[in-house]
Structures are given as C-alpha cells and as structure tokens.
Amino acid sequence: MRTPIIAGNWKMFKTAAEANAFFAEVKGKAEVEGVESVICGPFTTLPALTEAAKGTAIAIGAQNVHFADNGAYTGEISGGMLQELGVSYVIIGHSERRAYFAETDEIVNQKVHAAFRHELKPIVCVGEQLEEREAGKTKDICTTQTTAAFAGLSAEQAAQVVIAYEPIWAIGTGKSSTAADAEDVIAAIREVVAGLYDQATADAVRIQYGGSVKPANIAEYMSQPNIDGALVGGASLEPASYIALIEGA
Ligand code: PEP
C-alpha cells in the first residue's frame, strides 16, 4: 500500500521567522498517522524548518536543486547543501520553473539524478498547459515528461520518486481538475511507469494531484484509487488550512 503524501509548496513566500511561526502552529497537528506531511519552503527557511522538524513526523523539502554537485553556478544550491541541512524531499520541474527558468525535460532528469546522489526524494512535476489539454494532448505531454524525468533511474530509485500531476491551468487559478479527470490522467501516468519498469514499480510510485487543492476538495481527490496525495501551493500557507489538508487526506 502506498502512503499518501501531502506536500505544501510555499513558493517564494515566508521568511525564516515566518516559517518558524508557522511550524510552531502546525507541530503536533499536521502530523496524522498514515499520511506523510511535507513542507517545501524557500531555501532561506530550510535551516529553521529542518531544525524545528526534528523529532516530529513532518518532513522538509526544497523547491529546487542544481544538477551539479558543485561548480561555478552563481546563485545556485546543490543537493549536498540540502542534504547537510537534513532536507528529505525536493520539488523538481515545477511548471513555474519550466516556464520562467527554462527548465527542460533534460534538466529535470539531471536534477532527479542529483537528488538521488544526495539522498533527497524527488517530487517531479508534470502537466499540460490549457491549449495542450484542449488539443487532447494531456496524456502525451505527461508521458513525454515522465519518461524523460525517469531516464537512467533504476527500478529501485524509480519506486521512490513522487510524481505530482499538475495541470498548469489549475495552478493558483482556483480552477481545479475534477477528481475523475485527475484520476484518469494519473492512472495513465502509472501505466507509463509500468511500461518503463514493471507493474510492481508502478504500484509503488506515489502520484499526487496538484492545482488549486484546498481543504474543501482534498477528500474528493483522495478518494480516487490512483491519487496518492496532493502538492498544494496557496492553501499550504496558512497553518489552519495546512492542518485541515493533512487531516482531510
Ligand atoms: C503548486 O504550487 O504546485 C500548486 C499546485 O499551487 P496551488 O495549490 O496554489 O494551485
């Protein structure tokens, strides 16, 4: 059985002091047996978050990692730097990074490998734009992005990847995919993993839905057999809302 995973993506919100205040409110509450709770903060919040999370069931994630282990990459952060802090997860290939920072499928794959070199579990984002959905290309896009992200991974590594299916038109817009539509695409993504590896690996991979998930709709998504949790932006920023998401899962 797959353990459901709810991950909050804070994007470029919260200072370290704000992260500490948030954590003090969710500690002991956003920790529910049988649900993995992950907070992905900006880099500057990670020392505070990893320190605060010690001894709790809340895992801490980053929102990006560089593909190289070190080098002349001004302004970048490596997997080793995150590992040293005690970070457990890293979001890779979020659509905002693909759109604003020119991250290609190849770069996403390199970052996935960098994550594994440093014992970070990747949360790999895939998903289509509105025009692609309207053109009936959703599953093709997700297949291409998933296949590229997994290139060169062993089955053992593949089973540890978390995929976040995030239709781009649903991110931060208040327009969410129906649970049935999300289930349909996520089941197709699981088949892609089965084709790349085998059914056991596909059955082990956790696949989240992301796109305007909130406490009011989380249960609908979680009731679908292939949806193993959610990657949540806006609704993860307030402690009460984050706690409600974990409880709702
Ligand atoms: C996200 O940041 O990945 C996301 C899904 O955002 P939101 O929940 O705000 O749509």
- Cα distances from 98 to residues 45, 94, 103, 134, 201, in angstroms, run 23, 6, 4, 20, 27
Position 54 scores a pLDDT of 97
173 CA → ligand 1 middle, Å: 9
Separation of CA 72 and ligand 1 centre (Å): 32
Nearest CA to ligand 1 atom 4: 233
Q: What is the pLDDT of residues 221-242, one digit of tens each?
A: 999 999 999 999 999 999 999 9
With contact defined as beta carbons under 8 Å apart, do 115 and 149 qualify?
no
Closest residue by Cα to atom 5, ligand 1, is 211
pLDDT in tens, 204-222: 999 999 999 999 999 999 9
Q: Does residue 9 have a known ligand-binding role?
A: yes
Phi first, then psi: what are they for 231, rounded to 5°?
A: -105, 120
pLDDT for res 34 = 95
Written as six digits, the tokens of 237 are 């920023």
- pLDDT, one tens digit per residue, over 102-156 is 999 999 999 999 999 999 999 999 999 999 999 999 999 999 999 999 999 999 9
38 CA → ligand 1 middle, Å: 14
Band of residue 187 on the pLDDT scale cut at 50, 70, 90: very high
Do the annotations mark residue 248 as ligand-binding?
Answer: no
Q: Quick one: DSSP state of residue 216? A: T
The pLDDT score that the predictor gives to residue 176 is: 86
User: Does the active-site annotation cover 166?
Assistant: yes
The reply, when asked if residue 172 is annotated as ligand binding, is yes
CA of 129 to the centre of ligand 1 (A): 14
- Amino acid symbol at 199: Q
Would you call 66 a catalytic residue per the annotation? Answer: no
Q: Measured in whole angstroms, how far is the alpha carbon of residue 114 from the centre of its chain?
A: 16
pTM score, whole prediction: 0.98
Counting ligand 1 atoms within 8 A of each CB, the residue from 6, 9, 236, 238 with the most, and so the one to mutate, is: 9
By most ligand atoms within 8 Å of CB, the mutation choice from 13, 214, 231 for ligand 1 is 231
Which pLDDT score, from 0 to 100, does residue 1 have? 85
Q: What is the C-alpha to C-alpha distance for residues 110 and 145, in angstroms, rounded to an integer?
A: 13
Residues with CB under 6 A from ligand 1: 9, 11, 166, 171-172, 210-213, 231-235
What's the gap in Å between 211 CA and the centre of ligand 1? Answer: 5
State yes or no: 169 annotated in a binding site.
no
- % of the chain at pLDDT higher than 70: 100
Tens-digit pLDDT profile for residues 8-61: 999 999 999 999 999 999 999 999 999 999 999 999 999 999 999 999 999 999
Instruction: Express each pLDDT in 74-83 by its tens digit.
Output: 999 999 999 9
Q: Is 8 annotated as a binding residue?
A: no
Q: How many Å from the N-terminal Cα to the C-terminal Cα in the chain?
A: 15
Mean pLDDT score, 152-176: 96
Overall size of the chain counted in residues: 249
Quick check: ipTM above 0.90?
A: yes
CB atoms within 10 A of CB 10: 23
Per the listing, tokens 């804070």 go with 10
Give CA–CA dist 122/139, Å, rounded.
21
| Catalytic residue of the set 94, 128, 183, 220 | 94
Pick the more confident residue, 116 or 172: 116
